[in-house]
């Protein structure tokens, strides 16, 4: 099994190499940065073990750049809860916090191998197909207001902005709006702004003419032209570079675009739906998002509630996902026992529907029997990690608020100075040591 380690700390990198070298079936290569790994690692890589906090390209940007091509295990000593959730959203296979022993990492690597053996055709495309069904498996009372707004808005041509946490089903909503609109028989094209390198966004959206840049050997239509007559869904719109926002605004206002290298414009007829989990008002105040573009895109805002507020949907989605996985891979019909159901219903799902689907898919593939147990779900380990991350954030926030004054922090937290120092050590808060 070919394992790539990406870790900027030379001591950590070497210790991981030495520890994993004890397992003869593992072929180890290591790199000091994400950029070096992208440049040098082979196509035969089975799993990548990467840190999150690295200079230059961090682990999250690295995973986005890989775009689902390789399986990834995250290792980190000081990740925030937000980064843990983001890594889940991006489909990482495991998330380990330092310190951990070699056996824990080896077990995580072996789980990735088992997943590949049991489901060799388990590709990112098939996962996306499951997630992006244009039908709602179940509608909870808390989802109905958002759905009612979406139905009314679908009949018009106004721009819609979908708000909500990562993984709540924003693309499903966008597809639903398209399917219930007069444009239903025309293209629906979805584009994730966060997954496209900044230097490629303009050519991806607007296309280019032959010779527009060095590698432009032939003209290419952009997503606006490909979606002509239909709907263009721009996910993670807050990630759009500020220098390209005027061009998007012009496309919306003038209903025409200009390819890179072109001398004339092309008329387009496209309905725009955007989505974000970012605070756009905050980005506007920081000069990172244009206010006029925000109001143009936000004609009808739709807030999609998180899965923890839609508990009635958890089991219907889980059962449908389980049925789909069993049918896809020819497994016998599997089912959740009561303990597993309780685990699913008692979990907050910080990664929302995307995380639920991921948990069920993995349980279906790894379970040895037709009965899915709580152990097969691995939720308890996720809960422990979530609680640990929240505690770390709490201590860090308090210490920052008092500018590192330990005595003042002790009073707020009702801890002795020695107890606080111990917590700083446990949660690896080096900046306050």
pLDDT in the model for residue 31? 92
Q: What is the pLDDT of residues 355-382, one digit of tens each?
A: 899 899 989 988 888 999 998 888 865 6
Tokens representing 191 are 């584009």
Which residue from 389, 426, 391, 427 is spatially nearest to 88, judged by alpha carbons?
Answer: 389
Give the chain's end-to-end CA distance (angstroms, integer).
40
pLDDT in the model for residue 133? 41
How many CB atoms lie under 10 A from the CB of residue 92? 21
Is residue 135 over pLDDT 80?
no
Which residue from 118, 119, 97 is spatially nearest to 108, judged by alpha carbons?
Answer: 97
Alpha-carbon distances of 215 from 40, 180, 189, 209, 261, rounded to whole Å:
22, 40, 25, 11, 13
* CA 304 – CA 168 distance, rounded (Å): 7
Assign 19 a pLDDT band (cuts: 50, 70, 90).
Answer: confident
* % the chain with pLDDT above 70: 90
Assign 18 a pLDDT band (cuts: 50, 70, 90).
Answer: confident
Is residue 224 over pLDDT 90?
yes
Q: What is the pLDDT of residues 238-290, one digit of tens each?
A: 999 999 999 999 999 999 999 999 999 999 999 999 999 888 988 999 999 99
* DSSP codes, 197-254: -HHHHHHHHH-B-TTSSTT--S-B--HHHHTTTSEEEEESGGGS-GGGHHHHHHHHHH
pLDDT in the model for residue 125? 37
271 near 230, Cβ under 8 Å?
yes
Helix axes 338-345, 314-329, angle to 10 degrees: 120
* % the chain with pLDDT above 90: 41
Is residue 117 over pLDDT 90?
no
Q: What is the pLDDT of residues 315-339, one digit of tens each?
A: 999 999 999 988 888 888 999 999 9
Q: What is the pLDDT of residues 148-163, one digit of tens each?
A: 999 999 999 999 999 9
313 near 307, Cβ under 8 Å?
yes
| Sign, Cα dihedral of 205, 209, 211, 212 | negative
């Amino acid at each position: 099994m070919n394992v790539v380690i990406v870790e900027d700390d030379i001591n950590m990198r070497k210790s991981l190499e030495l520890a994993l070298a004890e397992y003869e079936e593992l072929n180890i290569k290591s790199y000091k940065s994400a950029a070096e790994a992208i440049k040098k690692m082979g196509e035969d890589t089975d799993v990548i073990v990467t840190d999150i906090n690295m200079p230059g390209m961090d682990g999250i940007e690295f995973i986005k750049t890989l775009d689902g091509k390789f399986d990834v295990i995250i290792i980190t000593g000081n990740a925030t809860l937000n980064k843990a959730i983001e890594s889940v959203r991006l489909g990482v296979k495991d998330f380990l916090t330092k310190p951990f022993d070699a056996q824990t990492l080896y077990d995580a690597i072996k789980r990735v191998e088992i997943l590949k053996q049991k489901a060799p055709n388990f590709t990112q495309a098939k996962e996306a197909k499951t997630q992006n069904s244009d039908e709602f498996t179940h509608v909870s009372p808390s989802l109905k207001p958002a759905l009612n707004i979406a139905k009314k808005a679908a009949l018009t041509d106004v721009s819609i902005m979908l708000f909500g946490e990562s993984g709540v089903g924003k693309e499903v909503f966008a597809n639903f709006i398209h399917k219930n609109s007069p444009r239903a028989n025309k293209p629906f094209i979805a584009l994730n702004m966060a997954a496209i390198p900044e230097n490629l966004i303009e050519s991806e959206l607007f296309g280019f003419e032959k010779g527009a840049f060095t590698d432009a050997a032939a003209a290419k239509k952009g997503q606006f032209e490909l979606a002509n007559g239909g709907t263009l869904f721009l996910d993670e719109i807050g990630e759009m570079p500020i220098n390209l926002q005027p061009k998007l605004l012009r496309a919306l206002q003038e209903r025409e675009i200009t390819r890179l290298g072109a001398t004339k414009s092309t008329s387009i007829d496209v309905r725009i739906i955007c989505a974000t989990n970012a605070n756009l008002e905050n980005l506007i105040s920081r000069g990172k998002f244009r206010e006029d573009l925000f109001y143009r895109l936000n004609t009808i805002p739709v807030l999609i509630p998180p899965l923890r507020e839609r508990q009635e949907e958890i089991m219907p989605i889980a059962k449908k996902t389980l049925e789909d996985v069993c049918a896809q891979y020819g497994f016998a019909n599997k089912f959740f026992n009561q303990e597993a159901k309780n685990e699913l219903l008692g979990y907050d799902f910080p990664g929302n529907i995307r995380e639920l689907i991921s948990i069920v898919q993995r349980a279906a593939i790894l379970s040895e029997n037709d009965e899915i147990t709580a152990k097969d779900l691995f939720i308890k380990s996720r809960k422990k990690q979530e609680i640990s991350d929240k505690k770390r954030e709490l201590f860090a926030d308090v210490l920052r608020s008092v500018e590192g004054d330990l005595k003042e922090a002790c009073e707020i937290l009702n801890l002795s100075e020695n107890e606080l120092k111990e917590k700083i050590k446990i949660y690896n808060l080096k900046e306050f040591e």
